[in-house]
Amino acid sequence: MNGVAHAWLIVALMMSGLYIVMASAHLFKKLIGLSVFQVSVFMLYISLGVVEGAAPPIVEPGVDAYSNPLPHVLILTAIVVGIATMALALALLVRIRRAYGTLDEAALAAKDEDA
């Protein structure tokens, strides 16, 4: 893999994620888009830690070039945050569905206007 290919991949994921968030009328699809968007950022972080020709950051005798472990640690935290967000969002969706019987934005707006 040359130096920029992974960056393009990340950008593509990021853009498609954001596009889904904005373009979908269905709340669940929005959430999927959000997830794709977040994952692209996780990949960005992991790619930051790469050191050319280095070993994984596990201390072993005879190795002196390690990948940078800090981004991995950070992104582990970010992933946990992402999961929490996802769980909360899903819980919200369940309650929306219970209250309205639909997850479609237009239908939701219409139902509130009736009320």
- Compute the least distance from the CB of residue 76 to other proteins, in Å: 11
Among 88, 101, 106, 110, binds other proteins (CB under 8 A): 88
In angstroms, the CA 113 to CA 115 distance is 5
Residues 16/35, Cβ–Cβ less than 8 Å = no
> Could you say whether residue 107 binds other proteins (CB under 8 A)?
no
> Could you say whether residue 54 binds other proteins (CB under 8 A)?
no
Residues 33/19, Cβ–Cβ less than 8 Å = yes
Distances (CA, A) of 111 to 6, 16, 72, 105: 45, 30, 45, 10
> Could you say whether residue 79 binds other proteins (CB under 8 A)?
no
- Contact residues toward other proteins (CB under 8 A) are 18, 21, 27, 30-31, 34, 37-38, 41, 44-45, 48, 70-71, 74, 77-78, 81, 84-85, 88-89, 92-93, 95-96, 99-100, 105, 108, 112
